[in-house]
Amino acid sequence: MADHLYVSTRKGLMIYTHRGESWVHTSTAFTGSPVTLTLASPDNRTVFAALNLGHFGVKLHRSTDAGASWTEITPPMFPKVESSEADAKAPAVSQIWALAWADPKNPNAMWAGCAPAGLFYSPDLGATWSLNEPLWNMPERARWFGGGTVDTALHSICVDPRNAQRVAVGVSCGGVTLTEDGGQTWSIAGHGMRSDYTPPNQAEDPVTQDVHMMVQCAASPDVYWLQHHNGIFRSTDNLKSWHEIKNAPVSGFGFPVAVHPQNPETAWFVPAQKDEYRYPVDGNVVVNRTRDGAKTFDTLRRGLPQGDAWDLVYRHGLAVDETGNRLAMGSTTGALWASENGGEDWSLLSAHLPPINAVKMA
């Protein structure tokens, strides 16, 4: 069971350790600086932290001692376009939106997803990064557009546990794109999704879907769950198609989704008022959980604020550990909750953190 919790916030990285029956705040790194995302190795020794320093750009730091000390390393950067001084549109990374291990058999291989929506590969634990040119040069990319930000964002990376050459990425707004040869060639894998924010004749265009978050079940990798701007979608046929889940209570809008690592029928969502406003419906923070493949949902609220709450949970703000029992969730108003029983009961770890960008357990 995971015993480290990395909480990426607007003003630092708060590290919690599980002791006894609860999480204890044990250290803070990058105090005052915006931390946007972390990734930890399965043994929790190697940890990456992505920062966005605003004036001074996107930074990446690596720890090899479970977050006790950190070294700044070179972040992913787009290749230099010649005469770019005159070309204001030449891309530059504005945010690291996803970090993932690229191959269970190679502990040094990593993927990073960025805004603008480039996918970068590192063969050497982040020492060097290279842009995946085939995805970046895919003609369909010209139709991608930003969701929530000017830049497009590649925020979801699903490396197939059966075959690391098979990687699906989710882009806001660019649908789902799949490679089966380690990134040499890519195909569109967003068929079945639907958007309300485009003219009706383009609603089913798989290339312009606003994926908020996509996850893949570790034990049943044919099954993917996806929180979309216009609702919840699921694929049970290894990304050949998506079908919409229309019966989620409270709201189908939201940002995060987590799937049970062993049970493809179980997934968690955090609904929010859709979509021009973003706050908990009726001021109640709840988690929607299904345990039967979305035939039915439980709306879980024990331990979560009911009434007058304004907490929004971002796409990386919900995490589940490898057992499927331990969850953590952090909000834009700085509340951090954890559950030990699959979300049935939540305990408040802090109500006073800075806005939380991401939570990760290891």
Partner 1 sequence: MVQVHFTSHLRHVVPTGAIEARGGNVAEALCDVFARYPAARGYVLDDQDRIRLHIAVFVDGIHVRSGVLAHPLNSDSELYVMQALSGG
Query: Cβ 239 to partner 1, closest distance in Å?
Result: 31
List, in order, residues 6 or more apart from 103 with CB less than 8 Å away.
Answer: 109, 159, 164
How many other C-beta atoms are found inside a 10 Å radius of the C-beta of residue 230? 19
Among the listed residues 84, 153, 81, the one whose alpha carbon sits nearest the alpha carbon of residue 116: 153
Q: Which is nearer to partner 1, 182 or 355 (CB)?
A: 355
**Binding-site member from 4, 18, 59, 141 for partner 1 (CB under 8 A):** 59
Is 75 a binding residue for partner 1 by CB under 8 A? The answer is yes
DSSP 105-154: T-TT-EEEEEESS-EEEESSTTSS-EE-HHHHT-GGGGG---SSSSS-EE
Query: Cβ 54 to partner 1, closest distance in Å?
Result: 5
Query: Cβ 71 to partner 1, closest distance in Å?
Result: 11
Q: Which of residues 91-110 bind partner 1 (CB under 8 A)?
A: 91-93
Distance between CA atoms of residues 76 and 154, nearest Å: 13
Is 310 a binding residue for partner 1 by CB under 8 A? The answer is no
Is 90 a binding residue for partner 1 by CB under 8 A? The answer is yes
- Please count the residues of this chain forming the interface with partner 1, following the rule CB under 8 A: 22
Q: Which stretch binds partner 1 (CB under 8 A): 71-79, 249-257, 260-268, 320-328?
A: 71-79
**CB 80, CB 136: distance < 8 Å:** no
List, in order, residues 6 or more apart from 188 with CB less than 8 Å away.
Answer: 140, 175, 176, 177, 178, 206, 207
Q: Which is nearer to partner 1, 57 or 107 (CB)?
A: 57
Q: Which stretch binds partner 1 (CB under 8 A): 89-97, 222-230, 336-344, 347-355?
A: 89-97
Which chain residues interact with partner 1 by CB under 8 A?
Answer: 53-57, 59, 72, 74-75, 77-81, 84-85, 87-88, 90-93
